[in-house]
Amino acid sequence: MSTHTAGLAPRRANLALAALFGGMFVMGSVELLVVGVLDLVAADLQVPIATAGTLVTAYALGLAVGGPVLTALTIRLNRRTVLAAALALFALANLVAVLTTGYGLLLGTRVLAGALQGVFIAAAFAAGTAVVPPERTGRAISVVISGVAVSGAVGVPVGTLLGQLLGWRGSFTAVVVLAVLALVAVVPLVPAVPGTTAGVGDQARYAFAPRVLAVLALHVLVFASVYAALTYIVPFLQTVTGVSGPLISVFLLAYGVATAVGSFGGGRFADRDAARTLVVATTGTALCLLALYLVGSVPVLVALVLLALGVVAMGMTPSLQYRVVSLAGPGGGLAQSMPASAVNIGIAVGSSAGGAAIAGSTASAAVLTGLALAAVAVPVAWATSALRPPALEPRTAAEADACRVGGR
């Protein structure tokens, strides 16, 4: 599914993965940071809060659409070059955001930053799986994914606090500095990993095969189910659980920590059996949402359910990525960026469905909507577990030599 080598020592491979984790952490923080400072942005640029909210949508669209486009355009380039260029342009885009006084330009920087995160994600997965032996592929994927999970648990709250103390421009300035530091780490620590020799057309033929699209559909269903409930978890905690004030942050922090734990630990299960992991984790997600609805009035049990949901939901993400790229076969280079797009589509679908459900009802309706989506995802996960990668001719010795890490 990717370029592998036994040439890198474990210590050097770990350093490369740490650099990729850092880049993902920075970009993941920027993706959600604006949510915590949305009121400050709206007041500073003199736009309604609803208008400022489109900054979140713009980033998601940039990632979902622009990420695969940029990945296709850079498919032949060395992965380290793509990573470095993406980080440099990401820092520049956020610097422009800090300096601008116009909402339109800020919106444009969000679209660009989202697209750059999309291409970085694809290149990071390619580089991360290239520096480890095949039996550690899932664990390499989990380290890269964990950068986003940890950013949600740590980066976003800290960035929001900086925004409250220094203004939203101060928090984004910190992001620019962190992006530059990530760039400085990536260039020496991540080895040269050649891009694919196949053209975009050949890649797309495998990347958009029905078996790949089926697992991408599972992505959408799973994250739609989680975010139908999670988007409206605060009103659920307030009206159903009876939690308010600072205690809500404790519940959300617990969920964030659980997602980080799940994303780190999920790699081992992906290495053992990614297809089976998806069946078990999807079933676990449905059970967690059912439990959340049933015990919603008991704060201690709700906290435990949120912990379990965070571990299970994020624990399956390495397996989702693993399955998509392995099922794409020779189209894996292009397919690397597609799971992130599917995740963002799922989040958008889930939040919209949850919002429609609670429009004329209570916050519990959002949880029931998530449960219904998860119930659909379970048989889909079971059906996709039977899918297998395409049968391919063995590589020639020359092709194998061209795909070694450090090759040009």
* Mean pLDDT per 10-residue interval, the chain, length 408 residues: 55 92 91 78 85 81 89 90 96 95 93 94 91 88 87 74 84 93 95 79 85 94 90 85 82 85 88 93 96 94 94 91 90 85 85 83 88 96 92 46 39
* pLDDT score for 156: 67
Q: How many CA atoms lie within 13 A of 394 on its CB side?
A: 2
Give the Cα separation of 144 and 317 in Å (integer). Answer: 11
- Write the CA distances from 152 to 219, 254, 304, integer angstroms: 19, 11, 19
Give the Cα separation of 110 and 117 in Å (integer). Answer: 10
* pLDDT score for 32: 75
* pLDDT score for 399: 39
Phi/psi of residue 387, nearest 5 degrees: -75, 145
* pLDDT score for 110: 93
Burial of 191 (0-12, 13-18, 19+ CB in 10 A): buried
Q: Return all residues near 200 (Cβ < 8 A) that are at least 6 apart.
A: 72, 75, 334
Give the Cα separation of 196 and 99 in Å (integer). Answer: 38
* pLDDT score for 153: 74
Q: Are 235 and 363 in contact (CB under 8 A)?
A: yes
* pLDDT score for 373: 96
* pLDDT score for 403: 41
What SS3 string covers the chain?
A: CCCCCCCCCHHHHHHHHHHHHHHHHHHHHHHHHHHHCHHHHHHHHCCCHHHHCHHHHHHHHHHHHHHHHHHHHCCCCCHHHHHHHHHHHHHHHHHHHHHCCCHHHHHHHHHHHHHHHHHHHHHHHHHHHHCCCHHHHHHHHHHHHHHHHHHHHHHHHHHHHHHHHHCHHHHHHHHHHHHHHHHHHHHHHCCCCCCCCCCHHHHHHHHCCHHHHHHHHHHHHHHHHHHHHHCCHHHHHHHHHCCCCHHHHHHHHHHHHHHHHHHHHHHHHHHHHHHHHHHHHHHHHHHHHHHHHHCCCCHHHHHHHHHHHHHHHHHCHHHHHHHHHHHHHHHHHHHCCHHHHHHHHHHHHHHHHHHHHHCCCCCHHHHHHHHHHHHHHHHHHHHHCCCCCCCCCCCCHHHHHHCCCCCC
- Domains recognised in the chain with CATH numbers: 1-195 (1.20.1250.20), 200-394 (1.20.1250.20)
Would you say how long the chain is, in residues?
408
**C-beta contacts of 168-171 below 8 A and 24+ residues apart:** 168/34, 168/37, 168/40, 168/41, 168/44, 169/44, 169/98, 171/33, 171/37
CB atoms within 10 A of CB 249: 11
* pLDDT score for 179: 96
